[in-house]
Amino acid sequence: MRQSLVVGNWKMNGTLAGAESLAKGIIAGLSEGSAAIAICVPYVHIPSVSAWVKGTELALGAQNVADKSSGAFTGEISAAMLTEFDCKYAIVGHSERRTYYGDTNESVAARFCQAQEQNIIPILCVGETLEQREQDQTFAVIDAQLDAVVNMAGIASFGSAVIAYEPVWAIGTGKTATDEQAQEVHQYIRQYIAAKDQVIADKIQILYGGSAKPDNAKGLFAMPDIDGGLIGGASLDAESFLKIYHSI
């Protein structure tokens, strides 16, 4: 049995005071559950949030990580820096990074490797644009995104990684993939891994992301290959994030 996981992606939102009430609100609403829960917060909030979540079930993550270990890379944050604050996860290859900041399949794979070098679990985001879906390229796009990581890190690396399927057309748009649309791609991703390593395929958590909300989470999470969610907008409110967490 795979453990489910719900991850909040706060993106570039909020203030430190807002981060405090949100993190503490989530912690206050945690109850004995079988699913794991984490928040990926802005870099500058990591030291504070790290102290607030210490000793709780709420894990901490970053929204990105450098593709190099250290050196003259102005503006980047290394995996070693994140481990100093007990970051368990780092998102890599979010579509906003790919679209607005030039991340490529190869640079995402390098970030994935850097995270793992420091025992941080990468949350690898994959997904197609609307245009790619309409041109029946969804699986080819996913293949290329996964191939780049397999080529650089090897299939065994997926033994300590999370994949998030995030159709770009569903992110922040209010247009969620239907349960069946999401399941189809999740199953495809699991089969891709299974063709190389069945044990890892059975074990890896594959999250859905893209306008997941309290009212659609239950249906999505009930799908056999959907192991939880990467939640953007709805994770900025403790109550709605907790409702999603409790719908597992």
Residues classed as catalytic: 94, 166
Across 112-137, b (16+ Cβ under 10 Å) vs e yields bbbbbebebbbbbbbbbbeebbeeee
41 binding ligand PGA? (CB under 6 A): no
Please identify which residue in 9, 78, 145, 205 interacts with ligand PGA, judged by CB under 6 A. Answer: 9
Q: Which stretch binds ligand PGA (CB under 6 A): 80-88, 144-152, 166-174, 183-191?
A: 166-174
CA distance 189 to 33: 27
- Closer CB to ligand PGA, 36 or 231, in the complex: 231
Q: How far is C-alpha 16 from the chain's CA centre?
A: 22
Q: Which of 209, 226, 228, 244 binds ligand PGA (CB under 6 A)?
A: 209
Express the helix, strand and coil content of the chain in percent, nearest 5 each: 50, 15, 35
Provide the CA 229 distance to its chain's centre, in angstroms: 8
Q: Which of residues 217-236 bind ligand PGA (CB under 6 A)?
A: 230-234
Helix (H) or strand (E) holding 132: helix 130-134
Q: Which range touches ligand PGA (CB under 6 A), out of 26-34, 55-63, 73-81, 165-173?
A: 165-173
Residue 42 pairs in a beta bridge with none
Selected binder of ligand PGA within 37, 124, 212, 242 (CB under 6 A): 212
Nearest residue (CB) to ligand PGA, 45 versus 98: 98
Selection from 100, 111, 40, 47 nearest residue 73 by Cα: 111
Which member of 67, 103, 166, 227 binds ligand PGA (CB under 6 A)? 166
Per CB under 6 A, 211 contacts ligand PGA: yes
Nearest to 218 by CA among 226, 210, 162: 226
Q: Select from 80-88, 108-116, 150-158, 203-211 the region that touches ligand PGA (CB under 6 A).
A: 203-211
Sequence-distant (6+) residues with CB within 8 A of 18 are none
The binding site for ligand PGA (CB under 6 A) comprises 9, 166, 171-172, 209-212, 230-234
